[in-house]
Chain A
Amino acid sequence: MSFPKRIVVTGLGVVAPNGLGLEAYRAALKAGKSGISHHEELKALNFACQIGGKPPVGPDEAEALIPEADLAKLNEAMVYATMAAVEAARMSGVSIDLKKGYQDTPVDWDTGAIIGCGIGGMDTMLDELGPVMSQAADGEPGMGCRPMGTDIVPKIMESSVSVAVGKFLGLGGQTTTNSSACNTGTEAIFEAFKHLQMGYGESMYAGGAEGTHAGTWSGFDAMRDVLCSKFNDMPEKGSQPMGAGACGFVPAGGAGVVRLETLEHAQKRGAKILVELVAAYCNSGGQRDGGTMTFPNPDGVARCIRRVLKDSGVDPKRISLINGHLTSTGADPREVGSWIKALELPLDKFPLIQSTKSMIGHTLGAAGALESVAAIDQLVHGYVHPSINSENVHPQIPIGASIPHEMKIKELEYVVKASFGFGDVNGCLLFKRWDGK
């Protein structure tokens, strides 16, 4: 057995603001359809930013997949993670119907999950735990917390999203949650990649999930110029990555899950291979040299991208598409600068560069995963989705010609996906079209 093993992707699952399920997501991406809308709830709370990206999931959609009794034990992010993971499992060939019962399916000892979450069960904390805590002092001795009920802990623990997936899919491999702010989803895929490369398992569900509770978004709203507050009456125009009018990111939620497998395992079970994940890396800029809690050190970003290129041995000229982090903030020009620095290509040869966030907003802990799903789907189906709202390119971005404003049909070879998060943390993934070898 040789190490490191080759890793491929065999399943994708999506819960995005502009589409529930991969087919709807693909259709929305191709059409340049925004999932951002105005939310009266944010207005009522006097948020500066009153727009956001919420997945089209309500009780009907959730109950259609998840048994009612289980649903009561899940926070919003857990529901999204479960929906995305079940879709990824089904796509990879696993037959599963939670409504018909899942407790008796055998444990899949070869498969685990790393599903990250940026903020966690804020809906549970603020809507269930908070009200009880505020009245606990008036309760009977020893009974202050009892009205919370006994399902609180599994809904507020950081690992809630991964253990929900593990429960429903009967996973027997390592099942855990990572958290690295906006890099969470990308980091989860990197961690699963390493895990499988070194032979600790044969298959992993990897990705990220994030809820859409106003509490999750409130801290960002408290910061100046971090959230978009100038497009409350034009929500679909709010997210403008690389655009001249970018004035802050649009908060959102959802989940993306990919099923990674060792090549041998996927081939052995006859799974349809979608793409190969040829290299992945995560690092930090150390919050030095321009890097801060909220801004990345450009050197750290460039090093992260270069490391992926070095590990894969891929000439930057062969990169067909960059799916950037690109949040629609003042950091976009700096990020593009880092890509230019890392790839060392003439500007007129610079690959296409896009931001999925232009349509779905910034899904925080789910961003890297949802955007990886977009990157993989474009490789599989040979298209490039538009990066909307960037017709007027930011004056400090010198590669305007590389930004697709409309959907393009194009055969892609390598797609690179990167994420950068609060805390000056970076992640980069390089996917290759599967050519059967």
Chain B
Amino acid sequence: MAFMRKQAVVEATDINTLPPDEVEKRITAGVKKYATNEANFAKADGNTPYLGQIVGMGIESSNLADITMSIERQFLTKLTTKVPLADGSAEYKLAPGELGKLRILDGQDALAATPGLSVKMLMDLGHMPSSASYLDKVVSFAYIMACGDGWKMADALKKMTAKAEKLAGAERADALSNVKTLAAQAKDYDTLLADAAKLSAAKQKTYLSDKASCDALDNELNVVLDKIKGHSGGDAAAIAKLRTEEAEVRTRLKMSAAKLRVSKDVAEAAGRRRPIEDQKVAEVRKALQEAVAAAQTLA
């Protein structure tokens, strides 16, 4: 940061002394230096995704850890006592204790895609009291994802249409064919977004597929663990090989479980559309319809 002006030192505040709107405001301000899409950041609210150049703040996914740290630096919590998850385990959960540094544990921020969802995460984890009136204003993770996909599709279609417009001859024919295909997909997605039940069904399907993969890995892990038990006191080389296999399966299982957690949340929330989400859906549907109309005019 050779040429950055000196940053003000952030004084951490007891999160319980702040209303949720203020926490959200501080979280948004704290991530400003990572937001490369200045225009979007300038109009960002609690429901603006951190990631994404089109409707997000333009923060790169590699900076998500910085966002978590920024949140940790700004607030103090009473959840500071570390309780091991199992005897001798290095993993722990947090229980009430003395007021101290806020710690967001590995994976807890998986759904915190917007400042509003970050506040929701802090409420869900018990760092601050839950507020129904605040949460009513927070677009669910499911709809941040669903609308984000819509924005990306509308943007791609607009760009493709604009590109095709400038071409001639065979190149134009090829481009128009692509525009047509993408326009059809955009139209289908618009229809899907229009119906919360259909969207939910589609997301449910994704969830079931993710769950099946996760279950399969769970079974695979159990098989390996059984084999290790069977070798107790036996061949050291074979046990070492099985331990390696166990570590590998556990890694895959951890990733799969994280993915499942997201798709489960999306599947559950997609069917419960609230007014705040209606509004977001309406905006992205309008963009999709305009992009489709422009594409059809050209075709």
Nearest CB of chain A from residue B142's CB, rounded to whole Å: 27
Q: CA of A123 to CA of B1 in the docked complex: distance in angstroms?
A: 8
Contact bitstring B47-82, A, C-beta under 8 A = 1, else 0: 000000100001000111110010000000000000
The yes or no answer to B216 lying at the interface (CB within 8 A) is no
The yes or no answer to A389 lying at the interface (CB within 8 A) is no
Q: Which of B1, B39, B69, B90 contacts A72 (CB 8 A)?
A: B1
Q: Which of B27-35, B188-196, B204-212 contacts A (4 or more CB under 8 A)?
A: B27-35
Q: Report yes or no: B62 in contact with A72, Cβ–Cβ below 8 A.
A: no
Q: Report yes or no: B36 in contact with A59, Cβ–Cβ below 8 A.
A: no
Nearest CB of chain B from residue A130's CB, rounded to whole Å: 14
Contact bitstring A133-162, B, C-beta under 8 A = 1, else 0: 000000001000011011100000000000
Q: CA of A214 to CA of B166 in the docked complex: distance in angstroms?
A: 53
Contact bitstring A45-73, B, C-beta under 8 A = 1, else 0: 00000000000011100110001111110
Q: Report yes or no: B2 in contact with A211, Cβ–Cβ below 8 A.
A: yes
The yes or no answer to B43 lying at the interface (CB within 8 A) is no
Nearest CB of chain A from residue B206's CB, rounded to whole Å: 29
Nearest CB of chain B from residue A145's CB, rounded to whole Å: 11
Q: Report yes or no: A150 in contact with B63, Cβ–Cβ below 8 A.
A: yes
Q: Which of B1, B33, B65, B90 contacts A146 (CB 8 A)?
A: B65
The yes or no answer to B9 lying at the interface (CB within 8 A) is no
Interface centre among A59, A76, A149 (most CB of B within 10 A): A149
Nearest CB of chain A from residue B81's CB, rounded to whole Å: 14
Nearest CB of chain B from residue A116's CB, rounded to whole Å: 19
Nearest CB of chain B from residue A101's CB, rounded to whole Å: 7
Q: Report yes or no: A72 in contact with B4, Cβ–Cβ below 8 A.
A: yes
Q: Report yes or no: A71 in contact with B69, Cβ–Cβ below 8 A.
A: no
The yes or no answer to B5 lying at the interface (CB within 8 A) is yes
Q: Which of B3, B32, B53 contacts A69 (CB 8 A)?
A: B32
Q: Report yes or no: A67 in contact with B38, Cβ–Cβ below 8 A.
A: yes
Q: CA of A147 to CA of B5 in the docked complex: distance in angstroms?
A: 20
A residues contacting the other copy or chain, number (CB 8 A): 27
Q: Report yes or no: A150 in contact with B3, Cβ–Cβ below 8 A.
A: no
Residues of B contacting A57 in the complex (Cβ-Cβ under 8 angstroms): 3
Residues of B contacting A71 in the complex (Cβ-Cβ under 8 angstroms): 1, 3-4
Q: Report yes or no: A103 in contact with B36, Cβ–Cβ below 8 A.
A: yes
Residues of B contacting A124 in the complex (Cβ-Cβ under 8 angstroms): 2
- Please report which residues of chain B, range 125-181, place their CB below 8 angstroms from some CB of chain A when the two chains form the complex: none
Q: Report yes or no: A103 in contact with B53, Cβ–Cβ below 8 A.
A: yes
Residues of A contacting B36 in the complex (Cβ-Cβ under 8 angstroms): 67, 69-70, 103
Pair count A-B, CB < 8 A: 58
Q: Report yes or no: A68 in contact with B1, Cβ–Cβ below 8 A.
A: no
Given A69-B34, A150-B66, A151-B63, A101-B39 contact (CB < 8 Å): yes
Q: Report yes or no: B69 in contact with A149, Cβ–Cβ below 8 A.
A: yes
Residues of A contacting B35 in the complex (Cβ-Cβ under 8 angstroms): 69
Residues of B contacting A108 in the complex (Cβ-Cβ under 8 angstroms): none
Name the CB-closest residue of A to B34.
A69
Residues of B contacting A411 in the complex (Cβ-Cβ under 8 angstroms): none
Nearest CB of chain A from residue B260's CB, rounded to whole Å: 24
Q: CA of A75 to CA of B41 in the docked complex: distance in angstroms?
A: 23
The yes or no answer to A311 lying at the interface (CB within 8 A) is no
Residues of B contacting A63 in the complex (Cβ-Cβ under 8 angstroms): 3
Name the CB-closest residue of B to A121.
B2
Given A128-B1, A211-B2, A72-B65 contact (CB < 8 Å): no
The yes or no answer to A79 lying at the interface (CB within 8 A) is yes
The yes or no answer to A74 lying at the interface (CB within 8 A) is yes
- Please report which residues of chain B, range 14-50, place their CB below 8 angstroms from some CB of chain A when the two chains form the complex: 32-39, 41
Given A67-B38, A69-B33, A75-B2 contact (CB < 8 Å): yes
Name the CB-closest residue of B to A123.
B2
Residues of A contacting B4 in the complex (Cβ-Cβ under 8 angstroms): 59, 68, 71-72
Q: CA of A62 to CA of B5 in the docked complex: distance in angstroms?
A: 11
Residues of B contacting A147 in the complex (Cβ-Cβ under 8 angstroms): 69
Residues of B contacting A128 in the complex (Cβ-Cβ under 8 angstroms): 1
Q: CA of A69 to CA of B60 in the docked complex: distance in angstroms?
A: 11
Nearest CB of chain B from residue A103's CB, rounded to whole Å: 6
Q: What are the 8 tightest A-B residue pairs by CB atom distance, in nearest-first order?
A: A76-B2, A62-B3, A72-B33, A69-B36, A123-B2, A59-B5, A150-B65, A149-B66
Seen from chain B, the residues whose Cβ lies within 8 Å of a Cβ on chain A are 1-5, 32-39, 41, 53, 58, 62-66, 69, 90
Seen from chain A, the residues whose Cβ lies within 8 Å of a Cβ on chain B are 57-59, 62-63, 67-72, 74-76, 79, 101, 103, 123-124, 128, 141, 146-147, 149-151, 211
Q: Give 24 CB contacts A-B under 8 Å.
A: A57-B3, A59-B4, A63-B3, A68-B4, A68-B33, A68-B38, A69-B33, A69-B34, A69-B36, A69-B38, A69-B58, A71-B1, A72-B1, A72-B4, A74-B3, A103-B36, A103-B53, A146-B65, A146-B69, A147-B69, A149-B69, A150-B63, A150-B64, A211-B2
Q: Name 8 extra pairs, CB < 8 A, besides A59-B5, A69-B38, A149-B69.
A: A57-B3, A68-B4, A79-B3, A101-B39, A123-B2, A124-B2, A128-B1, A149-B66
